[in-house]
Amino acid sequence: MSKAVESVNVKEQYKDVYEYTKQVLDLIAKEEITKEEAEWVTRQTVDNFRDHVNPGFLGYRKSVTKDGQFAAVEWKDAGPNSFMDVNGKVYIDCLGGFGIYNVGHRHPKVVEAVINQLNRQPLHSQDLLDPLRAMLAKILADITPGDLKYAYFANSGTETVEAAIKLAKMHTGRTSFIATTKAFHGKSLGSLSATAKGVFRKPFLPMIPGFRHVHFGDIEMMRKTFEACALVGEEIAGVILEPIQGEGGVNLPPDDYLKQVRELCDQYGALLILDEVQTGMGRTGKMFCCEHYGVVPDILCLAKAFGGGIMPAGAVVATEEVFKSFFPNPFVQTTTFGGNPLACAAAIATFNVLIEENLLDRCTEMGEYMLKGLREAAAAHSDKVMEVRGKGLLIGIEFHSDEIGYEVSKGLFDNGVLVAGTLINAKTIRIEPPLTITYEEADRVIETFRNVLPQIKL
């Protein structure tokens, strides 16, 4: 049988798939789509989530109208701090992919870096030395605090936590860890063992053995856990913490907490692992949140905004003393796509933008402005709002119940502001806009919040 005949048969065999892929690719290529095309995209998205992704997601979306119809399907970016749905409605992005868009949506310099590398070589051979990974590792060594020096690259936050756990085990020869209540470190099995949320953990019990959880901010409980573990011969390999808890509700630590944890780790020969997947890359007004507290970890985890809002990317940065456990066999911890040229180009450009546009100071300035405005808006609604707190542009608004939080986040969404609050976790909603948010946009967010609160019925 000739190759031509084979091709015809294959094309005939997959005719429906081929036509469907062509239709989708043609839509992607269009600058603008018609109303009919928008309706088709909406139907396809809802139907395929129900039939082929997970119907559970449909119940947790803010984009459902009162009559049960879907009002919004995300379609394209509409500026550095906003996006547009398939019907053309624009939303200010105060969710930011849970902290992905620190330098904004589609920052031109990050896009250009990725396109330039894409035109040169999208992925590397896996065998030769790839230059951008080496250059990005040097940048991390130069920009991270203390003597953090060596980097391992991954694709996501949970992967960086997995690598950090393995590195701590290899370096210390120990298997026990301390994590905290309300912590979120990811959902792969190792990082899930450090994560504290029961709804994520229960279906997969038992977890990886050796993880103990203590109350976040309670240094005496942590001290006693260290002592007890030492007494029974289960010495701690490492303590893993978010400097400020994100998913747990934007929980800030007591002033001296991180320093005291650092001291406990030093006293008992344990490593301090800081998960800055959400708090890093300028989100709190410092390049890394631990700098606010004068603490240097042994291992630092980064992801989310690390890829500049363009590429999935993550990194683990550690001291030479710790990282050298990986030296004898560098293949003990690898990933096919971690540290790929496109991701590295995006991360390098992101650091360039953060510095060039002075986004750390801007984050501090805009964070203080939004925090003040949101607190003033909430002042007359103490029956609904418990507290507005945060650092930089990681802001949490805590309500008296999940139901109130969900209704507020839904009201904000209906008025063109997207925040982080879902049906199952809305008692504290997060405000995480790009660090490039303008005063005009911030005022609109604050004013919308002010207008929505009186509409919420208890």
Extract the tokens encoding 441.
């946009």
390-443 pLDDT, tens digit each: 999 999 999 999 999 999 999 999 999 999 876 567 899 999 999 999 999 999
Which carries the bigger pLDDT value, residue 422 or residue 66?
Answer: 422
Mean pLDDT for the chain overall: 94
Mean pLDDT lowest among 23-27, 58-62, 450-454: 58-62
Residue 83's beta-bridge partner residues? 77, 91
Distance separating alpha carbons of residues 293 and 345, to the nearest angstrom: 30
310-323 mean pLDDT: 98
225-234 mean pLDDT: 98
Predicted confidence at residue 66, as pLDDT, reads 47
322-338 mean pLDDT: 95
333-357 pLDDT, tens digit each: 999 999 999 999 999 999 999 999 9
Q: What is the DSSP string of 306-360?
A: GGTTTS--EEEEEEHHHHGGGSS-GGGS--SSTT-HHHHHHHHHHHHHHHHTTHH
144-172 mean pLDDT: 98
The most distant pair of C-alpha atoms in the chain lies apart, rounded to whole Å, by: 79
Kind and range of the H or E run holding 230: helix 219-231
Predicted confidence at residue 423, as pLDDT, reads 56
What does the buried/exposed string (b/e) look like for 114-140 if buried means 16 or more CB atoms within 10 Å of the residue's CB?
Answer: beebeeeeeebeeeeebebbeebbeeb
Burial of 44 (0-12, 13-18, 19+ CB in 10 A): middle
Strand 271-275 and strand 299-302: pairing?
parallel
Distance separating alpha carbons of residues 193 and 208, to the nearest angstrom: 6
pLDDT bucket at 204, cuts 50 / 70 / 90 = very high
Predicted confidence at residue 68, as pLDDT, reads 46
Strand 271-275 and strand 236-241: pairing?
parallel
Rg (CA), the chain: 23
At how many degrees (to 10) do helices 219-231 and 257-268 cross?
A: 10
Mean pLDDT lowest among 27-36, 63-72, 282-291, 405-414: 63-72
Predicted confidence at residue 371, as pLDDT, reads 98
Distance separating alpha carbons of residues 266 and 417, to the nearest angstrom: 45
Q: What percent of the chain is predicted at pLDDT more than 70?
A: 95
Extract the tokens encoding 156.
């996501």
At how many degrees (to 10) do helices 108-120 and 341-356 cross?
A: 150
Q: What is the distance between the terminal CA atoms of the chain, rounded to a whole angstrom?
A: 73
Residue type, 230: A
Mean pLDDT lowest among 55-59, 221-225, 445-449, 453-457: 55-59
Distance separating alpha carbons of residues 223 and 33, to the nearest angstrom: 60
**Residue 143 CA, distance from chain mean position:** 20
